[in-house]
Amino acid sequence: MKLNIILPTLIMLISVNAFGQDNYEIQVYPSETVSPGITMVELHSNYTPRGMTFGDGVRPSQDALHETLEVTHGFNPWFELGFYMFTNVHSGYGWEWVGDHIRPRVRVPESWDWPVGVSLSAEVGYQRPEYSADTWTLELRPIIDRDFSWVYLAINPTFGLSFKGENQKKGFDFEPNLKVAFHLTNQIDLGAEYYGTTGPAFSPDPIQDQSHSIFAAVDLNVSPEWEFNFGTGWGLTRSTDGIVVKMILGRRFGG
């Protein structure tokens, strides 16, 4: 009955022109923060069977497995603080540490009764020059979402800034992320996620130099303590990895 809405929505997402993040933490953020006193531990596992074989001064992405540990603690109903440790596993280089980021996030409290969820994430950190042309970066991520009775929608119109590296004089990049997830059952969501980058926010790169990818993804809501997301993504431009498989496994502790 809802196919006349679902299919056009998926087609629209696939055809959007925008930008995606590196293959370490592939996730469209929800506006909700971690509850006070709770610590969320997540493992982001992303494998690239078809990616870039040339590095342009950095490690190639093809056949690389990225393992990222994320630990986030909720301090009150509107503030959380997250920490990331990025690693790379590759037959040519072994298992290597890539970098660390820290991420404070604030949200509009539920008591304000806004029609949509709204929060703002600010992520800053370091990545080794072997893995990124920009070693110190800042990411500002506004988050807007809403959960309807049968579908969840989220948009992250993200802006990235380099403090040190190849792009430090270019200003903010525009990096929008989108998600639509249909509630098939109370425990299973099926949908699409989009990641991209258009280059400098006010002077987009040529389309062939932009990064655009679309993921088919499933979320399992089997327990309030657990989080599970799995997806397969396809690159839409020559500057995007061809195929990426991702999984997020999270567990909440405390209460």
Is residue 122 within 8 A of residue 139, CB to CB? The reply is: yes
C-alpha distances out from residue 222 to 16, 106, 215, Å? 31, 27, 22
Span 222-240, pLDDT tens digits = 999 999 999 999 999 998 9
Q: Which amino acid is at 85?
A: M
Quote the mean pLDDT of the chain: 90
Is residue 74 within 8 A of residue 34, CB to CB? The reply is: yes
Task: Provide the 3-class DSSP secondary structure of residue 111.
Answer: helix
Is residue 104 within 8 A of residue 78, CB to CB? The reply is: no
Calpha distance 97→94 (Å, rounded): 10
Which of 5-9, 48-52, 182-186 bottoms out in mean pLDDT, i.e. has the lowest?
5-9
Domain segments of the chain as ranges = 3-254
CA dihedral 237, 211, 135, 231 (to 10 degrees): -100
Provide CB contacts within 8 A for 15, sequence distance 6+. none
DSSP state of 77: T
pTM of the model: 0.88
DSSP bridge partners of 245? 47, 232
Radius of gyration of the chain (CA): 18
189 pLDDT higher than 60 = yes
Task: Provide the 3-class DSSP secondary structure of residue 137.
Answer: strand
At the topology level, CATH places domain 3-254 in Porin (2.40.160)
147 pLDDT higher than 50 = yes
Which of 9-18, 40-49, 173-182, 229-238 bottoms out in mean pLDDT, i.e. has the lowest?
9-18
Task: Provide the 3-class DSSP secondary structure of residue 241.
Answer: coil
- Identify the band that residue 56 occupies on the pLDDT scale cut at 50, 70 and 90: low
pLDDT > 90 in the chain, percent: 82
For residue 83, the tally of other CB atoms under 10 A from its CB is 14
The stretch 123-136 carries a mean pLDDT of: 95
